[in-house]
Structure 1
Amino acid sequence: MLSVPGRGRSHADRVAEAVNSKVCAATSGIAASWRRSMVYHGLDPASRRSAHRVEDGSLRQARERSQDLIRIAMPTLERLYSTLGSSGCSVALTDTDGLILEARRAAGDARDFDSWGLATGAVWSEAMEGTNGIGTCAAERRAVVIHQDQHFRTDNIAMSCMGAPIFDPTGQMAGVLDVSSCRRDLELPYAQMLGLIVAESARAVESDLFRSAFHGCRIVVAEGHGTAGVSLLALDKDDVIVGATRQARKALDLTDALLAAAPSAAPYLGEQEGEGRGTERAALRRALARAQGNVSAAARDLGISRATMYRKMAQHGLSD
């Protein structure tokens, strides 16, 4: 819980005091988010308003844009709800703008969640709601736990929100998985435990997204896989890296430009070149990629004649 002077004052006063405190803003992630909410987004913590909801047509379009994410994430979302739904929790899947695409909550908790506007079609970006589990997670691209009065708006301090980002197969953010609790007696340690469950579930969805995108490829675990994130590589039949998750890109310094050059997986997996499969074909492909398809330049790169290059390409079923 954020500690600021004047604990007995109203929530709105304490938010304002933390925002104006250089020490709090510099040392507390919550205070930094409060500052963004008040200074950059112009929000008032004491304002009374319901969450913004998009029209049905806009929601339908957003769901179409995220149809792969929804399809792959739904089993995980349903499992989370079946485990936590009876304990006063709602489970939500959002896009990168904080728009709730899918939500599950028990009928007995519907009044509480509806009063906060935590339902399908509502927008919970930081720009709209200030500090919250969905919007702050999306803004900072990391898992967050926003426990009760860590929320920006006074209207939201009775709930706790645990959000975790989901990254797509190219390393870009795809959405947020969120669990929110309406239990007023929810202690911070329990909220943090729920946060770990949500983060692990988001990593499972990210892994499933990656495997679906590279169906038919060999998927291997790379450096950095674990609590830090999903670090996976997709290899084709020549052991060329054709895909990498966000964590794998960070851990191995893989960029789009490097991936476009058809890199061999061997050096990234601690193997000697030649230990993998299809090494000559892979070398030809890498040379062609570096030369942007120019056969003569690729042949010079490999130190062979243009005629030999064409012969080897035909042997391995490669076109220029």
Structure 2
Amino acid sequence: MPEHRHEDRVLQASQSPGAVTRLAASWRRSMMKHGLDPARAPRVRQLTSRELVERCDALEDFIEVARPQLDHLFQLVCPTGCSVLLTDATGIVLEHRVSDADALTFRDWGLWSGADWSEAAEGTNGIGTCLAEGRQVTIHRDEHFYARNTGLSCMDAPIWGPDGRLIAALDVSSARSDHAERWNALIGAQVAQSARQIEASFFRASFPGARIVTAQAEGTDDATLLVAVDKDDLAIGANRAARRAFGLEKEGQLRPRPASDLFGREDEATGFEKAERAAVIRALARAEGNVSAAARALGVGRATLYRRMSRLGISENPGRLSRG
């Protein structure tokens, strides 16, 4: 019995309004919402050099923060014949990393700076579907919408900005036929970790001079809560995970509020409060009990540190701490 063509399989799944799998929903979105035909893929849309420069300039600070992680990730996956891409929130590739030996292959695929890999342009694919659904995805070979892309495996993770909005996608793509799904899962885990590191680094860079309090979200292994606290102990920024955990503004600028309203409760210390207490104790230990030196290390005034010590239940021991 002859095998069904890829295009036929996609069309059949896309025509069902009750598509239950995420992949089928993406195929349907590609065809019904974006009007794409899986058998008729146009050339990959490529921005002009000027358009690409404008896109990169708009995210200059973010790209600068991301570059070390892109380089590190590429060092890990380069020996396996993979490329590394960083896009903006619309799916335009801003940066790419590829070995000289594989450059021609990936350029032919359109996996290059300036290319548009949004779902609206390329249908179901790692970058576009990751951005459309705001989640980590792996699109393996014939899971792509267009038949011409079925030679690719793409592992992607979203990157959320300090304002809670989606800012980018991190992609590792492979054109090797011997990369099985189990291997892709390992690469996908590394992509997700690198995306989280970029996200955290950019959050910290976005609040210079602020103290960054971190905690792990309950019930998950990878959602790190980040809150920026200024010298007056006001929470002035929170990443997406923290916004969701504390019921803060979903997107946009955070309304400053006392950090104690988030971190501390009279009945039981939260994960944030425990993390803050540990940070203060470490600073005091490094300063050999000198409160003034510890305050300088934490970037706060001595009076502020005393208030924080009182709130966190860190008693001043005259035999060990000095006022400096």
TM-score, normalised by the number of residues in structure 2 = 0.78
Gaps of 5+ in 2: 268-272, 277-302, 309-324
Task: Choose from 195, 203, 224 the match for 1:230.
Answer: 224
Partner residue of 2:66? 73
Question: For 2:254 and 2:107, how far apart are their aligned partners in 1?
Answer: 46
Question: For 2:93 and 2:132, how far apart are their aligned partners in 1?
Answer: 15
Question: For 2:47 and 2:2, how far apart are their aligned partners in 1?
Answer: 37
Instruction: Map 1:192-207; keep pairs closer than 5 Å.
Output: 192-207=185-200
Deviations 1:232-262 (A, max 9, x none): 00111222101000110001101179942x3
Instruction: Map 1:1-320; keep pairs closer than 5 Å.
Output: 8-23=3-18, 25=19, 27-222=20-215, 224=217, 227-255=221-249, 259-260=254-255, 262-272=256-266, 278=304
Question: For 1:270 and 1:148, how far apart are their aligned partners in 2?
Answer: 49
Question: For 1:44 and 1:145, how far apart are their aligned partners in 2?
Answer: 22
Is the contact made by 2:165 and 2:252 (CA closer than 8 Å) also made in structure 1? Answer: no
Is the contact made by 2:125 and 2:144 (CA closer than 8 Å) also made in structure 1? Answer: yes
Is the contact made by 2:237 and 2:253 (CA closer than 8 Å) also made in structure 1? Answer: no
Distance 1:271-1:257 versus aligned 2 partners, 3 A rule: farther
Deviations 1:9-52 (A, max 9, x none): 000000011112345x1x21111110110011011111143211
SS in 1 for 2:102: helix
Is the contact made by 1:88 and 1:183 (CA closer than 8 Å) also made in structure 2? Answer: yes
Per-residue deviation at 1:85?
1.1
The ranges of structure 1 where at least 4 consecutive aligned residues each deviate by more than 6 angstroms after the TM superposition are none
Per-residue deviation at 1:278?
4.5
Indicate the RMSD between aligned Cα atoms, in angstroms.
2.5
SS in 1 for 2:3: coil
Question: For 1:126 and 1:18, how far apart are their aligned partners in 2?
Answer: 17
TM-score, normalised by the number of residues in structure 1 = 0.79
Q: Which moved more, 1:189-198 or 1:72-81?
A: 189-198
Distance 1:152-1:7 versus aligned 2 partners, 3 A rule: farther
Distance 1:257-1:59 versus aligned 2 partners, 3 A rule: closer
Question: For 1:62 and 1:99, how far apart are their aligned partners in 2?
Answer: 8
Partner residue of 1:299? none
The sequence identity of aligned pairs, in percent, is 43
Distance 1:67-1:259 versus aligned 2 partners, 3 A rule: closer
Distance 1:264-1:48 versus aligned 2 partners, 3 A rule: closer
